[in-house]
Amino acid sequence: MLLNEGWSICAVNSRGCAGSMITSEVLHNSRATWDFRPVVTWFKLKFLNRPLFGLGFSPLHCGEEGERRLLKTAVVFSKLSNLEVVSRALLQTHIGDLAMLRRVKRHWFVNKVLFGELQESK
């Protein structure tokens, strides 16, 4: 129906959500808006004279953009969640353990390369 009225539609899936492939070490994060910003910017440059409307957009993104926003209107719907509790629960899973292990390995490797040895915590 919207397409018949001349609208263009784009769907953006967060990393690893909706069956999208994870192609980097960065996983979906409710506070992360850096993936979304380049998509909105690209569409604004591609369709200069068309207003952009967002449906299901991040309230954080809308708040961060403020007066610089490229979206004419955004309809936000999301469940409220306590990210600290969610983070603790994730770390108790096998996937959370693997993600943490990768970060620890990377930290160890960077310290080894930069300093020639591991820095001891004080």
Number of domains in the chain: 2
Based on the fold, state whether residues 92 and 75 are members of the same structural domain: no
Q: Enumerate residues 6+ apart whose C-beta is below 8 A from 64.
A: 33
Residue range 42-88, pLDDT digits in tens: 999 998 889 988 887 677 777 888 888 888 888 877 666 676 776 77
When comparing pLDDT for 54 and 32, which is higher?
Answer: 54
Based on the fold, state whether residues 72 and 97 are members of the same structural domain: no
Based on the fold, state whether residues 57 and 21 are members of the same structural domain: yes
Residue pair 13/20 in contact (Cβ under 8 Å)? The answer is yes
Based on the fold, state whether residues 58 and 86 are members of the same structural domain: no
Based on the fold, state whether residues 97 and 55 are members of the same structural domain: no
CA 40/CA 42 separation, integer angstroms? 5
Based on the fold, state whether residues 45 and 26 are members of the same structural domain: yes
pLDDT at position 120: 52
Based on the fold, state whether residues 61 and 86 are members of the same structural domain: no
Based on the fold, state whether residues 7 and 56 are members of the same structural domain: yes
Based on the fold, state whether residues 39 and 97 are members of the same structural domain: no
Based on the fold, state whether residues 19 and 75 are members of the same structural domain: yes
Residue range 4-16, pLDDT digits in tens: 888 888 877 777 7
Based on the fold, state whether residues 70 and 86 are members of the same structural domain: no
pLDDT at position 116: 62
What domain range is 70 assigned to?
1-80
CA 10/CA 21 separation, integer angstroms? 18
CA 27/CA 4 separation, integer angstroms? 36
Plot region of 45 (φ>0 → left; ψ -120 to 50 → alpha; else → beta): alpha
Residue pair 79/52 in contact (Cβ under 8 Å)? The answer is no
Based on the fold, state whether residues 107 and 73 are members of the same structural domain: no
pLDDT above 50 for 122: no
